[in-house]
């Protein structure tokens, strides 16, 4: 079990100025880095994915990765409240939101290929540029920190920007919602791994925000469908029906 | 060159030549099991080779010497590739002859000759297969190179034996960059070995075939050599994957006794890897040929991201 003298150390490391943790934690920190890489890979896979069902599966996997990394960070830094936020993440992002999304696509009967505005290889090339930019941006910030997982900041930023790119390049509403949710995944990962967790109130607030956001977006999707008989958001560009 | 290193090199070549058809048989057995078919015998590839070596080789009238020589060149390339990938020991006299980049070059050499031979006869199928093979090859090679480079960045050397030495014989470390590279490598390996998402190894007459279209005109001992070379290629790729991502259990220089353990370890790792390959193949559907560039571009970009992640985390 965890030694009892650790909380103060954990508090120190939260500020990014703590001493280097013992060796066992080094392996765990590398494991967090690995989970970050996995998150990035999943974000990348989402960009290159055409089918909605696979997109939802990828999003669920991303949520599961996030849960795992939150638990590991909670263990390394000995902050029990991170277990709570891992539990909330699991309930929301691995169970509830995928279920909701499945229900939405079942009701709207949209299982066909996702329409993209650019073709997929171009999107992926832009994606790699985005990753390079994110890594470059994060490098000087990470150098200020001494925490073991400082490298994850760049990965998290890349995840956020990739999801952003996905929202930009998709023409239909449901993939855009998934892009929005996966962007939040990246933010959450940055919050937990690079800074070792936010205060509980903030985390609860964000979790609630996401849930409400999904519900509103779900209603929104149905409304778009009612109005235009299609989920193509390009219809929203016209102000009047003509 | 000591006697021990010479022996380990010899043993490695012999093991590769002997085990490669077994690996092919193992994969097709698993494929059959997973698809609820009665599986062919594990020794089926050996029987096929035996049959083909005993048969007469029929050559087209207009075949040039290139057509006749290509199977030997391809077979030689694949044997050399198997010889320089450290599977049992890192003490290999042949390994300074070719590093990771030259290994990719060896595969390219074999590809060029088999494609030229396919076009040499002048049949429509041969030319079609050659073009497709080159399309896949030129997209897969950069991805493979980047994968090898990310491993080289960690060990600061492009020599495969040094890579395995550094990765296999140090304290346990997790390399997130290598995880991404592993996914990219799996995708490339599937494409390069004419496996399911790209090509179907079980088909013999289909418009979508790639590997089989190349070798339609071959028969007898030439076909046997090519089939054996294909098995060796799969073996070499499996061994590269094991060497880069699961390098444990490989003997170092001056440890001849560890090699006794290295052989069962290799067989166990290959058995698991072969079953995994069959699972992957069963789970995925063959894609349209025009989707292949996209698939390989994904592999390439994943490999690049793996390298970037490594650079970011090492900084």
Task: Name the band, by pLDDT with cuts 50, 70 and 90, for residue B32.
Answer: very high
Q: Could you say which of B174, B304, B312 has the minimum Cβ distance to residue A154?
A: B312
User: A170 forms bridges with which residues in the sheet?
Assistant: A116
Which chain A residues are within 8 Å of B174, Cβ to Cβ?
27, 30-31, 33-34
Task: Name the band, by pLDDT with cuts 50, 70 and 90, for residue A211.
Answer: confident
Separation between Cα atoms, residue A238 and residue A151, nearest integer Å: 44
How far is the alpha carbon of A48 from chain B, nearest alpha carbon, in Å?
Answer: 8
pLDDT higher at A218 or A65: A65
Q: Does B134 touch chain A (CB under 8 A)?
A: no
Separation between Cα atoms, residue B72 and residue B80, nearest integer Å: 12
Q: Does residue A4 carry a pLDDT above 60?
A: no
How far is the alpha carbon of B283 from chain A, nearest alpha carbon, in Å?
Answer: 14
Q: Residue B231 is encoded by which pair of tokens? A: 């098995």
The residues near A10 (Cβ < 8 Å, ≥ 6 apart) are A77, A78, A79, A196
Average pLDDT, chain A: 79
Q: Does B283 touch chain A (CB under 8 A)?
A: no
Separation between Cα atoms, residue B246 and residue B232, nearest integer Å: 20
* Per-residue pLDDT, A197: 66
Highest average pLDDT, of A19-33, A54-68, A114-128, B199-213, comes from A54-68
State whether residue B102 is helix, strand or coil: helix
Spacing of C-alpha A55 from chain mean position: 13
How many of the other CB atoms lie within 10 Å of CB of A236? 11
Which chain B residues are within 8 Å of A155, Cβ to Cβ?
309, 312
State whether residue B117 is helix, strand or coil: helix
Q: Does residue A242 carry a pLDDT above 90?
A: no
The residues near B175 (Cβ < 8 Å, ≥ 6 apart) are A30, A34, B154, B310
For A35, the closest chain B residue by CA position comes to B176
Q: Could you say which of B173, B294, B309 has the minimum Cβ distance to residue A120?
A: B294
CA end-to-end span of chain A, whole Å?
Answer: 69
Q: In chain A, which residues touch B (CB < 8 A)?
A: 27, 30-31, 33-34, 36-38, 40-41, 44-45, 48, 120-121, 124-125, 127-128, 131-132, 135, 138-139, 142-143, 151, 154-155
Mutate to test the interface with A, among B172, B174, B179 (most CBs of A within 10 A): B174
Which chain A residues are within 8 Å of B302, Cβ to Cβ?
41, 44
Which chain B residues are within 8 Å of A36, Cβ to Cβ?
176
Global pTM reads 0.86
Q: What is the DSSP letter of B284?
A: S
Q: Could you report the per-residue pLDDT of B238-270, keeping only the tens digit for each?
A: 999 998 888 877 777 666 677 778 888 889 999
* Owner of token pair 């993939």: A175
Q: Could you report the per-residue pLDDT of A119-164, keeping only the tens digit for each?
A: 888 888 899 899 999 988 888 887 777 666 677 888 899 999 999 9
| ipTM value for the complex | 0.78
How far is the alpha carbon of A189 from chain B, nearest alpha carbon, in Å?
Answer: 16
Q: Could you report the per-residue pLDDT of B86-121, keeping only the tens digit for each?
A: 888 887 888 787 788 999 999 999 999 999 999 998
- Residue B65, classified by CB atoms within 10 Å of its CB into exposed (0-12), middle (13-18) or buried (19+), is exposed
Which chain A residues are within 8 Å of B176, Cβ to Cβ?
30, 33-34, 36-38
């Amino acid at each position: 079990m965890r030694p009892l003298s650790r909380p103060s150390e954990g508090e120190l490391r939260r500020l990014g100025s703590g001493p280097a943790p013992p060796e066992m934690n080094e392996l765990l920190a590398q494991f967090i880095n690995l989970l970050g890489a996995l998150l990035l890979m999943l974000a990348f896979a989402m960009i290159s994915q055409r089918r909605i069902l696979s997109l939802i599966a990828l999003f669920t996997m991303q949520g599961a990765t996030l849960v795992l990394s939150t638990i590991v960070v909670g263990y390394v830094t000995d902050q029990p409240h991170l277990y709570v936020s891992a539990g909330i993440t699991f309930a929301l992002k691995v169970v509830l939101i995928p279920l909701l999304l499945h229900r939405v696509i079942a009701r709207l009967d949209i299982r066909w290929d996702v329409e993209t505005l650019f073709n997929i290889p171009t999107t992926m090339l832009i994606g790699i540029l985005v990753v390079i930019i994110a890594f470059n941006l994060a490098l000087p910030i990470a150098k200020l920190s001494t925490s073991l997982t400082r490298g994850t900041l760049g990965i998290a930023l890349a995840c956020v920007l990739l999801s952003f790119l996905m929202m930009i390049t998709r023409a239909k509403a449901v993939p855009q919602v998934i892009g929005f949710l996966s962007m939040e995944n990246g933010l959450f990962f940055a919050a937990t791994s690079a800074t070792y967790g936010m205060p509980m109130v903030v985390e609860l607030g964000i979790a609630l925000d996401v849930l409400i956001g999904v519900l509103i977006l779900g209603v929104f999707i149905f409304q778009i469908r009612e109005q235009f008989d299609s989920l193509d958001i390009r219809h929203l560009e016209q102000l009047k029906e003509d | 060159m000591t006697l021990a290193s010479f022996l380990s090199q010899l043993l490695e070549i012999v093991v590769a030549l002997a085990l490669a058809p077994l690996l092919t048989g193992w994969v097709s057995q698993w494929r059959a099991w997973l698809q609820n078919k009665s599986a062919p015998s594990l020794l089926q590839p050996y029987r096929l080779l035996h049959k083909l070596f005993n048969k007469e080789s029929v050559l087209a009238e207009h075949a040039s010497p290139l057509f006749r020589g290509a199977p030997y060149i391809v077979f030689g390339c694949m044997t050399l590739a198997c010889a320089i990938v450290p599977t049992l020991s890192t003490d290999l006299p042949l390994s300074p002859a070719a590093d990771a980049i030259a290994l990719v070059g060896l595969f390219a050499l074999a590809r060029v000759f088999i494609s030229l031979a396919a076009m040499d006869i002048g049949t429509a199928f041969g030319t079609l297969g050659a073009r497709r093979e080159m399309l896949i090859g030129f997209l897969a090679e950069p991805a493979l190179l980047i994968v090898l480079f990310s491993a080289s960045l960690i060990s600061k050397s492009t020599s495969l034996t040094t890579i395995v030495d550094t990765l296999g014989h140090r304290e346990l470390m997790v390399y997130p960059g290598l995880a991404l590279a592993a996914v990219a490598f799996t995708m490339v390996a599937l494409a390069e070995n004419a496996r399911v998402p790209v090509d179907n190894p079980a088909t013999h007459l289909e418009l979508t075939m790639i590997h089989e279209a190349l070798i339609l005109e071959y028969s007898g001992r030439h076909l046997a050599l090519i089939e054996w070379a294909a098995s060796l290629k799969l073996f070499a790729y499996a061994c590269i994957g094991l060497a880069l991502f699961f390098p444990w259990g490989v003997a170092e220089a001056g440890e001849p006794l560890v090699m006794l353990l290295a052989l069962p370890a290799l067989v166990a790792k290959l058995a698991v890897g072969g079953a995994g390959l069959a699972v992957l193949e069963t789970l995925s559907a063959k894609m349209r040929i025009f989707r292949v560039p996209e698939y390989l571009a994904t592999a390439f970009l994943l490999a690049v991201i793996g390298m970037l992640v490594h650079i970011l985390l090492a900084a």
